[in-house]
A and B are shown apart, each in its own frame.
Chain A
Amino acid sequence: MVAVKDTVDQVAGLEKYEHGFVTEIEQEFAPKGLNRDTVAFISAKKEEPEWMLAWRLEAFERWSAMESPDWARVSFPPIDYQDATYYAAPKTKVGPASLDEVDPELLRTYEKLGIPLREQEVLAGVAGAPRYAVDAVFDSVSVVTTFKKELAEAGVIFCSMSEAVREHPDLVRKYLGSVVPVSDNYFACLNSAVFSDGSFVYVPPGVRCPMELSTYFRINAAGSGQFERTLIIADKGAYVSYLEGCTAPMRDENQLHAAVVELVALEDAEIKYSTVQNWYPGDPETGKGGIYNFVTKRADCRGDRSRVSWTQVETGSAITWKYPSCILRGRESVGEFYSIAITNGRQQADTGTKMIHLGEGTRSRIISKGISAGRSSNTYRGLVSAHPKARGARNFTQCDSLLIGKSCSAHTVPYIEARNGACTFEHEATTTRLSEDQLFYAQQRGLPEEEAVQLLVNGFVRDVLQELPMEFAVEAQKLVAISLEGSVG
């Protein structure tokens, strides 16, 4: 009987998480476990220079001496780091491949996920239709990066991290680890030792990147983690908008995604970074499986008047633990954080941001919308601080939580530190339960309950959805709807 119920639940879950399939493809793996050899193995696979290996090994030594943090409002059994694989790649050649060299099975995977990898097809799209370049990362390697030529003509470098280490060592050496130091925290340090792939972007001075850039992360292999490393540099007066998306198959075991993303904005530069995170959330009833999404994302607004905005739509993962942050170093630099975090079933999220005001006249804005349903737990954790030199710093924070049903929870943990008297911090927070009266009102007009919930939730998150690039806003809206399926009644 129990087995029957499990199957039924799994089928029900399958319908809900539509990206839960597995790609059958030959892959090669690092030997299980984590030691200096593993680190050397990864570095060798990626044909890295000596300095990169040394950097990784130093990180590994430091990590070995660290302890897993326990301050977040999430709980999970201790992770056995020796029981995982740190490198998994499709058996094709490493490095930049043309689309013809990519395994057709992989191409089908991306087709199924709706990710446009064929430039001709994107180009053949409706006139005026938005185009964007994609770096497709499959487990530990980047499979293909599109529109590289066109971007290169504008002087923009967009490639996988592995390629950047080989082809643009000066830029990488200058900026890697300059925003998130190797031993910043436990997971960032682990990432520094074993990072696999991610994207590298450099936009030269005065250049406005001619199209949206995006990276699509896919975890496929069982028993492995993904250690994404992304580095984006906008040189003086440059502009770039970047989006990352992610999905994974449904598996009963938990898989670790420990990423580090570093953004550097020089004078008058602007970076818009958007995330649509849809990792497999685990079984909604039992809480079995799902991705542990432990991520360090930080931007350094290094130059005067530079500007970074983080927009995130977090719907997946069993556990989400991330705080995309801005170090507002340059005078009058601006940091923004727009977040929608949805938890349903047994999901746990502890997410928010840090706005560190170092420079004079710096401004930041935080809009966070948390939605909890099922038996999930959703925490907003944020820090806004102003250092003595950050005179005239301003922050506005708006944190709204919406509860659906009676078994979920929401928490707001704001930290505020003003170390000079000339700054203005405003903080507003609300917690509301999805109102039965509003639901009835919408149903009286003809909307079925699920649609009524979707409409009300879309209203709740509208301020943030508006911040997403147009071509992803619709997608995100659909995702919000899917994540909340079965949350009422």
Chain B
Amino acid sequence: MLSLRDLRVRVGEREILKGLTLDVPSGEVHAIMGPNGAGKSTLSYVLTGRPGYEVTGGAAELDGVDLLGLEANARAAQGLFLSFQYPLEIPGVPALTFIRAAMNAQRKARGEAEISAPDFLKQARVCASDLKIDFDMLKRPLNVGFSGGEKKRMEVFQMAMLSPRFMILDETDSGLDIDALRIVSDGVNALRGPGRSMLVITHYQRLLDYIRPDRVHVLADGRIAASGGPELALELEREGYDKYARAA
């Protein structure tokens, strides 16, 4: 279970998260919606340990482990994964090389043996075919020259390969065409299961038709402004965020 208590975060001089409290129980999928600039990506970065985000108060725990005290890579080894809103390009490093290095680093941190090359390739072929990714694309430098949609698909591919325990998907649907949305959603749904949870950040109700959330939260002005079942997303689609916007 992910448990956030009164989380306060500054970036530079500005307070972005202003006392955010949220629980995502193990095995559940929660959606986060909210206006541009509300702090959704900030939440995903602070949880995964990106430098430059200063936590000024509150707590964040994953299954009782204090995330905030760990390096970014140690959090990853704990099973935390972020599908980036804007995936980075890694010149000269083939996608497979990158993912294998990441996988082995995580295994090492957990005291497990490295994956053998044949096992790794077998797993990569299965995941690639599930996500309809051309295997040759995995030999190219990661994300370099990939289209917006291809980059998002590659994020989900990495997620499937690393099989994390807690997944944050930051607008993974944006940039995907209609077919890709279904393929990627199927891939994400395949990762659902007991002991695995997700936080799905999106602007579009449509995604939630494919990935059915257990709960939906509205993040506005650095706080959780409302929570409800899947019907909340439909209501937001109709009415927008007006009633959550704080009078300035």
Contact = CB atoms under 8 A, between A and B. Distances in A.
B73 A449 contact: yes
Contact of A446 (B51, B92, B97, B106): B106
A444 interface: yes
Given A438-B88, A440-B51, A441-B84, A446 B93 contact: no
B35 interface: no
A463 B48 contact: no
Contacts of A437: 88
A331 B84 CA distance: 53
Interface string A445-470: 11111011001101111110000000
B77 interface: yes
B158 interface: yes
B90 A438 contact: yes
B166 to A, nearest CB: 13
Interface in B43-69: 48-51
A442 B90 contact: yes
A441 B85 CA distance: 12
B105 A451 contact: yes
Interface in B201-235: none
A436 B51 contact: yes
Given A440-B72, A441-B84, A447 B105 contact: yes
A456 B84 CA distance: 18
Interface centre among A447, A449, A455, A458, by most B CB within 10 Å? A447
A436 B45 CA distance: 13
Given A446-B77, A446-B102, A456 B93 contact: yes
B141 interface: yes
A453 B124 CA distance: 24
Nearest to B141: A459
Contacts of A435: 88
B78 to A, nearest CB: 10
B98 interface: yes
Contacts of B81: 444
Contacts of A431: none
Contacts of A458: 92-93
Interface string B85-113: 00111111100011101110110010000
A446 B109 contact: yes
Interface string B142-174: 000000000000000010001000000000000
Interface string B117-141: 0000000000000000000000001
Interface residues of B, number: 32
B72 A456 contact: no
Contact of B90 (A436, A441, A446): A441
Contact of A443 (B73, B93, B98): B73
A445 B92 contact: no
A445 B90 contact: no
Contacts of B158: 445
B82 interface: yes
Contact of A447 (B49, B75, B84, B101): B101
Interface centre among A438, A446, A463, by most B CB within 10 Å? A446
Contacts of A449: 71, 73
Interface in A422-439: 435-438
B162 to A, nearest CB: 7
B98 A442 contact: yes
Contacts of B103: 446
Interface centre among A445, A449, A455, A460, by most B CB within 10 Å? A445
B198 interface: no
Contacts of B50: 440, 444
30 contacts: A438-B88, A440-B50, A442-B90, A442-B98, A442-B102, A443-B71, A443-B73, A444-B49, A445-B102, A445-B105, A445-B106, A445-B158, A445-B162, A446-B77, A446-B102, A446-B106, A446-B162, A447-B73, A447-B102, A447-B105, A451-B101, A451-B105, A456-B90, A456-B93, A458-B93, A459-B90, A459-B91, A460-B92, A461-B92, A462-B93
Q: Which 8 A-B pairs have the closest CB atoms?
A: A459-B92, A445-B102, A459-B93, A446-B106, A446-B76, A443-B72, A462-B92, A441-B88
Given A446-B102, A451-B105, A455-B93, 11 more contacts: A443-B49, A444-B82, A445-B158, A446-B105, A447-B105, A451-B101, A456-B90, A459-B91, A459-B93, A460-B91, A460-B92
